[in-house]
Amino acid sequence: MPEDVTQVGLTWQLGVFTRTFQGTEKVLDPNDAVLRAYTWTVSARHHFGEGWSADLAVPLGLVELDAREDSTTGVLQNDDKTTARIGGFGDVRVGGRYDLAALWGPGGYRPSLSLGLALGLPTGEQATVSPEPTVPPTRLAVGTGSAWVSPSVQLTQFLHPRFALFFPVGARFPLTRAETQRRPGLGLDAAIQGLFRPVDALALRVGVSHVATTSADEDPEGLILNSGGQWWSAVGGVRVRIGERANFGAGVRVPFFVNAHGRQLTETFTVDTSLVVTFGGGDDGHDHGDHGDHGDHGDHGDHGDHGDHGDHGDHGGAGDVADVARGGESFAVEDAVVIGKVTVVDFWATWCHPCEHVDDLLRELAAEHPMLAVRRAEIVDFAQPIGLEHFPDGGALP
């Protein structure tokens, strides 16, 4: 498991909305509206070890809506378009995650199951389009502008040393209303994606995602009929390792099925690029993906926060070093073996000064050689289970 590792990322994202749907039917938009949502997100995640991590994401967005309309009737009059804009911070997100793989140990084909909880702060910006187009959105937003909480779970399962499946599921529950008195709907998102690493420095992913939200409401008007719905999308991406500490990624999302509540201008495609730099110690060598924040697709006034697609799962070439046993507990050698790599089991103890030098050397070798995996096993004393099993005749450390 990664320990004392910090990742800092910068993500740029562009979402383009050109299609108007009423339910599952694509309809004509007399205003010929086009919406573009640009988002820049600075994020950081720190891995404390033993499966625990904490993260912070600060998005900054710009949303532009081009539409043709008559200021009185809203009917198309000419080819000139008016542009409405809003810019500012999105919903700042803080959260934490625990990987249950810390309980049974990483390596081989054992699964990784991580639990996450994020809190969104009401820092997002909103503005009403005036004059209003006849087809929603009538409100532009960078983030929801409300506080929310989002639990998530992600299962990652390697089927081959170079292929894994991961299944992220998350929900978003609004806690407060925005300053405009709008409360976003409840949200649920899920996906299934495959990750393929043809070479150590390259990772490809492809899959399908689903987002469903209930309709938003506004005080005192009540339920907003033109909000919420379901979206099925094809997603894909690529990530390239740059040197020992950095990763560059790019991704795309294209909806192929829409069931909008009411009449809505909907997403045509979203693209993103990201750069993640890693500082600190080693990791378990697996790409655990990143559930991230998949955005509020249901309220299409909220175009500014469509998720952090920077992939924090690869820890930037710090070396495949992980603990296989701590506190004197024993382990099975076959469980320590990393399929497809040369695996070294390093027995160490806090009272063993030479072990520190061996540990430094093994970490350097693991960072230089991607096909080397180091699994650390702590010897408290030789009377503990690990000593009795692996050193039945007694022994000594370096």
pLDDT in tens, 248-306: 999 999 999 999 999 999 999 999 999 999 987 644 444 444 434 434 443 444 443 33
Output the pLDDT for position 318.
57
Q: Is 79 helix (H, G, I), strand (E, B) or coil?
A: coil
- Distant-in-sequence, close-in-space partners of 140: CB < 8 Å, separation ≥ 6: 63, 65, 84, 85, 86, 126, 127, 128, 129, 301, 303
Where does the chain hold its CATH 3.40.30 domain(s)?
321-390
CATH, domain 321-390, list 3.30.1490, 3.40.50, 3.40.30, 3.40.470: 3.40.30
Give the residue among 314, 380, 378 at the shortest CA–CA distance from 345: 378
Residue 381 backbone dihedrals phi, psi, to 5 degrees: -160, 165
Angstrom distance (rounded) from CA 68 to CA 378: 69
Output the pLDDT for position 107.
57
Residue 18 — pLDDT band, cuts 50, 70, 90? Answer: very high
Mean pLDDT of the chain: 82
pLDDT in tens, 62-87: 999 888 755 444 444 445 678 888 99
Does 132 or 277 have the greater pLDDT score? 277
* CATH code for the part of the protein at 5-73+80-280: 2.40.128.130
- Can you tell me the mean pLDDT for 192-220? 92
Q: What is the percent of the chain where pLDDT is above 70?
A: 81
